[in-house]
Amino acid sequence: MCETIASVVIGGVITWLAAYWYYRQAAKGLEREAAKLRNLMRIVLVVME
């Protein structure tokens, strides 16, 4: 019984760590993409003036 609970807890921690790492990387990528889009929108606005 204790082994089962320990296995579930350890599996949950491993899953949480993997998901946390993945979403941190995705957030960094999204931030870089948003910065590029902001820069391009600034260029478009300047050209339209």
Task: Give the separation between CA 10 and CA 13, rounded to whole angstroms.
Answer: 5
pLDDT digits (tens, 9 = 90+) for 1-48: 889 999 999 999 999 999 999 999 999 999 999 999 999 999 999 999
Q: How many domains does the chain have?
A: 1
The whole domain housing 14 covers: 1-49
Residue with tokens 């590029």: 36
Q: Which H, E and C letters describe 1-13, residue by residue?
A: CHHHHHHHHHHHH
Output the pLDDT for position 1.
Answer: 87
Tell me, what amino acid is at 37?
L
Q: Provide the CB-side half-sphere exposure for 21 (13 A, CA).
A: 6
